[in-house]
Structure 1
Amino acid sequence: MRILVLGGTSFVGRAIVADALDGGAEVTLFGRGRTGPELFPGVERRTGDRDTGDYASLGPEHGGEWDAVVDVSGYVPRHVGQAMDVLGDRVGRYLFVSSHAVYAREGVGPGSDEDTPRRQPVRDTEELTEATYGPLKAACEDDVTARYGSRATVVRPGKVAGPHDPSDTFTYWVRRAARGGRVAVPADPAQPVQVVDSRDLARLVVRLVADRRGGAFHAVGPAEPVTLGGLIETCAVAAGTEVELVRVPADDLPGPFFPLLRPDWASQQRSSARARAAGMPATPLAVTAADVLAWDRSRGEPPLRCGFTPEAERERVAGRP
């Protein structure tokens, strides 16, 4: 199986390439060549830049036909449009990695599936904000489906966790739980959360390509429902520590987002049934936590970009029961 991966050296793309290679696929990478140039020695690389529209290295004059393209790097319709224009029918299937941000936020109940109403697609901007990210992804989905029809596949991940995660969100709780003690939680610990292991997402993507499955699929996990408090406690078990969860006010948080806190709880209870039936595995949350902890320690535990600093956390839990 020949797979072209658009953006395959950073986190999700990296996991997809690793899974594909482990399964014996012939992989070609397309990207700017700035992230992870030392990864995957011997794999063919085509250099270009989606932001400037430089897809020339994928042109027919340079050769190459693939059973599937996996697009991890498309964020606006221009990205996918230019990629599709240059590739045409030299790819058998176009798998687009989208996001749960495409869904409308109203009227979503627990167990919602891939047929949940989406937000209205937008095409008049390329500015990625909280308001535009989902609608732009929805427009990308529509364009891929319009061009490739039954040969189009859309994967909509929820929060992805695993080694090499650049977002720090799951890593924050793993590292915090590993320190043990009183943990400040600026939300209801009973809030449901969904995180999917990056390697499970990768396995789903490669299986969908190999099985030539079209349609949309939720990549959500873990296998069993978990709350924010349960996730923190699982991280502590994986680290061999003990924690005490302390509810603190949610005012004056550091930054606009706090790791894994979501006001729309129903969006953290989406159905994974279709993806599981298609072959997505379910790595236990404790395994994901242990692997992230080992990876974080191996890189020297650099400063995180989100969450409380230890000093700020101590101030918040001081004097609280």
Structure 2
Amino acid sequence: MRLLMLGGTSFVGRAIVADALRQGAEVTLFGRGLTGPELFPGVPRLIGDRDTGDYSALRDGSWDAVVDVSGYVPRQVGQAMAALGDRVGRYLFISSHAVYARTGLQPGSDEDTPRRPPVRDTEELDEDTYGPCKVACEDDVVARYGSRATIVRLGKVAGPHDVQNGLTYWVRRAARGGRVALPGSPEQPIQLVDSRDAARLVVRLLLDDRPGAFHAVGPAEPITMAELIATCARVAGTRVEVVPVPADAVSPFFPLIRPASLWATQQRSAARARAAGLPATPLAVTIADVLAWDRERGEPPLPFELSPAEEAELVAGVRA
């Protein structure tokens, strides 16, 4: 399989490239060449810029499939499709669960759940526009490639090389042990998919030439926030006490925390993706690998984290 990656040297794309190479694919990377230039030596790199619309490096060549990891707005996806035309077999677009409408959502929702109305008139991505822009991208890919289009909707992805908070925060925090402030309910459901499992699904779909939309969610068994933190502590060899604290006492973007009205977004069905080949790495393995990677890189500051003093103050307030 000759595979073109639009993006692919950061996190999810990196895992896809690694898995595709293990499967014997001939991979070509397209991007600015700024992220991970030392990765994948010997893999051809085509230099371009989706932000400026520079796709000139794609004017020649053909591929059995393209994986679009870095398309966020319809212009980017439209320009890529115009540049590639019919010189690609299958177009696999990496989308998000942000495409779905949130009102009336029930646990166990599948890929046929109603989506939000598409948005095409902005490239400013925020809570209100990110999902609708992804909807527009999905629609455009399906309109252009039809049965040669595949959509993979990622849930929250976790694993080594994740530069966002997510699981890394809780792994690092549980490894310190002690009283852990949880700004929410211990019973909140949480879905995390290992980046390498998501990659395996993507490559399997391409090898099987399979169309349609698929949820990339995990783990295999339902888990709560309290159970997640406890598993992090067990892997790290520490003891923790989870102390619920008021959610409004911290940033509304606290890692992995969702209000009760959105709990169903963390209970989506993975049945279709499992049947298509999505594996299920044990959560403890994902946690152990994140812990080792984070320590190896020196545990740099995260985009958002409570300092020990801030956390102690929150816990003391609850105790009082």
**How many Å separate the matches in 2 of 1:319 and 1:131?**
34
Is residue 36 from structure 1 mapped to residue 36 from structure 2 by the alignment?
Answer: yes
**How many Å separate the matches in 2 of 1:111 and 1:251?**
28
SS class of match (1:226): coil
Q: Which residue in the other structure is 1:276 paired with? A: 274
One-letter amino acid matched to 1:259: P
CA contact (8 A) 2:201 2:278 kept: yes
**How many Å separate the matches in 2 of 1:233 and 1:67?**
44
SS class of match (1:217): strand
**How many Å separate the matches in 2 of 1:247 and 1:76?**
38
Matches within 5 A, 1:279-290: 279-290=277-288
Superposition deviation, residue 200 in structure 1: 0.2
The two structures have a TM-score, normalised by structure 2, of 0.98
Superposition deviation, residue 262 in structure 1: 1.1
Choose which of 105, 113, 117 in structure 2 pairs with 1:116.
Answer: 113
**How many Å separate the matches in 1 of 2:308 and 2:134?**
36
Matches within 5 A, 1:260-271: 260-263=256-259, 264-271=262-269
Give percent identity, aligned residues only.
Answer: 76
Superposition deviation, residue 307 in structure 1: 2.8
Task: Please identify, of 159-168 and 243-252, the stretch whose mean Cα deviation from structure 2 is larger.
Answer: 243-252
Choose which of 280, 296, 299 in structure 2 pairs with 1:298.
Answer: 296
**How many Å separate the matches in 1 of 2:32 and 2:309?**
39
One-letter amino acid matched to 1:257: F
Q: How far does the alpha carbon of each residue in 1:47-87 deviate from its partner, in whole angstroms, 9 at most, with x for none?
A: 00000000000013xxx211100000000000110000010
**How many Å separate the matches in 2 of 1:182 and 1:282?**
30
Is residue 131 from structure 1 mapped to residue 122 from structure 2 by the alignment?
Answer: no
**How many Å separate the matches in 2 of 1:308 and 1:225?**
27
Q: Which residue in the other structure is 2:316 paired with? A: 318
**How many Å separate the matches in 1 of 2:291 and 2:309?**
21
Q: Which residue in the other structure is 1:170 paired with? A: 167
Q: How far does the alpha carbon of each residue in 1:132-169 deviate from its partner, in whole angstroms, 9 at most, with x for none?
A: 00000000000000000000000001000000001122
One-letter amino acid matched to 1:9: T
CA contact (8 A) 1:100 1:156 kept: yes
**How many Å separate the matches in 2 of 1:21 and 1:270?**
30
One-letter amino acid matched to 2:265: S
SS class of match (1:54): coil
CA contact (8 A) 1:169 1:306 kept: no
CA contact (8 A) 1:11 1:164 kept: yes
SS class of match (2:114): coil
Task: Please identify, of 174-183 and 255-264, the stretch whose mean Cα deviation from structure 2 is larger.
Answer: 255-264
CA contact (8 A) 2:183 2:249 kept: no
Superposition deviation, residue 252 in structure 1: 3.0
Q: How far does the alpha carbon of each residue in 1:146-196 deviate from its partner, in whole angstroms, 9 at most, with x for none?
A: 000000000001000000001122100000011111100010010001010
**How many Å separate the matches in 2 of 1:18 and 1:157?**
18
**How many Å separate the matches in 2 of 1:47 and 1:256?**
38
Q: How far does the alpha carbon of each residue in 1:92-142 deviate from its partner, in whole angstroms, 9 at most, with x for none?
A: 000000000000001110100000000000111111011000000000000
Choose which of 151, 156, 169 in structure 2 pairs with 1:154.
Answer: 151
**How many Å separate the matches in 1 of 2:249 and 2:239?**
27
Q: Which residue in the other structure is 2:49 paired with? A: 49
CA contact (8 A) 2:155 2:216 kept: yes
* Dislocated runs of 4+, deviation >4 Å: none
One-letter amino acid matched to 1:59: R
SS class of match (1:94): strand
Q: Which residue in the other structure is 2:181 paired with? A: 184
Superposition deviation, residue 319 in structure 1: 5.8
Q: Which residue in the other structure is 1:78 paired with? A: 75
Q: How far does the alpha carbon of each residue in 1:231-290 deviate from its partner, in whole angstroms, 9 at most, with x for none?
A: 11111111111110001111231x340000112000100000000000010001110000
Q: Cα RMSD (Å) of the superposition?
A: 0.8
Aligned residues: 317
SS class of match (1:318): helix
CA contact (8 A) 1:31 1:49 kept: yes
CA contact (8 A) 2:179 2:240 kept: yes
Choose which of 95, 100, 105 in structure 2 pairs with 1:98.
Answer: 95
One-letter amino acid matched to 2:272: R
**How many Å separate the matches in 2 of 1:320 and 1:180?**
18
Q: Which residue in the other structure is 1:5 paired with? A: 5
Superposition deviation, residue 320 in structure 1: 3.9
Unaligned runs of 5+ in 1: none
Unaligned runs of 5+ in 2: none
Superposition deviation, residue 306 in structure 1: 1.5
**How many Å separate the matches in 2 of 1:307 and 1:259?**
8
One-letter amino acid matched to 2:51: D
**How many Å separate the matches in 2 of 1:319 and 1:291?**
34
Task: Please identify, of 149-158 and 308-317, the stretch whose mean Cα deviation from structure 2 is larger.
Answer: 308-317
